[in-house]
């Protein structure tokens, strides 16, 4: 399976689908969520986005589905190009697909020996290998601290700088070999996961793209249209939560002259939705998923 969709029933229900509406799956992947949206459409349309060429292999031919092989940061431009000025709902599953983790040559997982790649869009030039071997120490420190949420990454950065002066660090094995002495065995997998997460986020500019996407979503939704987002780590979830609640990524709302809060969305679920124990037992990668739903407020 390319990818097992997470929180499938809850996310599709959250879209409150109109059979004749226009919907976006911003992260098509294996098409699991798209398939369920499609089943509920009559005269409606589904526009599916994914920047990975491998995902296109999962798209069938149907006049109700339009596939766009680009990052969701370009959603607004492509929707307008296709003639859609406002849409009924948008769904985004921000997780990395099982396909990426299980395809060794893509370099997403520390379980396999592979080039340090991690590109979702393989037409882009920035790779994890370039970051490890060319980034300034201050930038390495930043990405491991911010994107890996590692409290004190100084030793990691110092070790990388020292070792890359001797020899380029080109593979996952190279990176793990030089960092293993710094990582306690009991925390090994957790720490490596954070290091690889930080590199992946930087390679694919995931935080920047998410901010652009969320802002565009609020603009492109029609009144009472729904935005449904599944996130997997605190960086993403914090941005989604703040934007849905306040219209700003900082969490501090903008107010008008009279002190009224100006925000384009209102949250539908007051409490974040997480997978059931049964779903986690069937799909361990769902364990950290968080689902948030918001609706466009009438202007």
Ordered by where they begin, the domains of the chain are 8-98+207-296 (3.40.50.150), 103-204 (1.10.150.170)
- What is the value of pTM for the model shown? 0.92
Q: Give the pLDDT score at 49.
A: 96
**pLDDT in the model for residue 62:** 80
CA atoms of 14 and 8, how far apart (whole Å): 10
Distance CA 210, CA 197 (A): 15
pLDDT of residue 3: 67
- pLDDT computed for residue 259 by the predictor: 80
DSSP H helices, the chain, are 8-15, 32-39, 75-81, 98-102, 128-134, 137-146, 154-166, 172-179, 188-204, 206-220, 234-246, 277-282
Q: What pLDDT score does 60 carry?
A: 74
Output the pLDDT for position 61. 78
Token pair of 1 as six digits: 């399976």
pLDDT at residue 1 in the model: 54
Residues of the chain with pLDDT under 50: none
Token pair for 47: 């526009």
pLDDT at residue number 135:
98
pLDDT at 2: 61
Residue 292 exposed, middle or buried by CB count within 10 Å (0-12, 13-18, 19+): buried
Contact between 202 and 143 (Cβ < 8 Å): yes
Q: Is the separation of the CB atoms in 198 and 261 below 8 Å?
A: no
Instruction: Quick: pLDDT tens for 251-286.
Output: 888 888 778 878 899 999 989 999 999 999 999 889
């Amino acid at each position: 399976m390319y990818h097992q969709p997470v929180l499938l029933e809850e996310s599709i229900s959250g879209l409150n689908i109109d059979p004749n509406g226009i919907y976006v799956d911003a992260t098509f992947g294996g098409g699991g969520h798209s398939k369920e949206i499609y089943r509920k459409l009559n005269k409606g349309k589904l526009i599916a986005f994914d920047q990975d060429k491998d995902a296109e292999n999962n798209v069938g031919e149907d006049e109700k589905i339009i596939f766009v092989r680009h990052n969701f940061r370009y959603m607004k431009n492509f929707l307008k190009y296709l003639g859609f000025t406002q849409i009924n709902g948008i769904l985004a599953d921000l997780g990395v697909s099982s396909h990426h983790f299980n395809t060794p040559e893509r370099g997403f997982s520390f379980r396999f020996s592979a080039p340090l790649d991690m590109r979702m869009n393989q037409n882009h030039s920035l790779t994890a290998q370039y970051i490890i071997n060319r980034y300034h120490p201050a930038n390495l420190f930043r990405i491991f601290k911010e994107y890996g949420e590692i409290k004190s990454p100084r030793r990691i950065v110092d070790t990388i700088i020292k070792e890359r002066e001797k020899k380029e660090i080109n593979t996952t094995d190279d990176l793990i070999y030089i960092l293993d002495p710094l990582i306690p065995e009991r925390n090994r997998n957790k720490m490596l996961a954070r290091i690889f997460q930080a590199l992946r986020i930087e390679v694919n500019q995931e935080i920047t793209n998410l901010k652009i996407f969320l802002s565009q979503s609020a603009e492109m939704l029609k009144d009472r249209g729904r935005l449904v987002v599944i996130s997997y780590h605190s960086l993403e979830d914090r941005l989604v939560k703040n934007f849905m609640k306040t219209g700003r990524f900082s969490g501090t709302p903008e107010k008008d002259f009279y002190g009224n809060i100006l925000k384009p969305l209102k949250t539908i679920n007051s409490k974040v939705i997480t997978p059931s124990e049964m779903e986690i037992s069937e799909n361990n990668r769902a364990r950290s998923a968080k689902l948030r739903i918001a609706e466009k407020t009438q202007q």
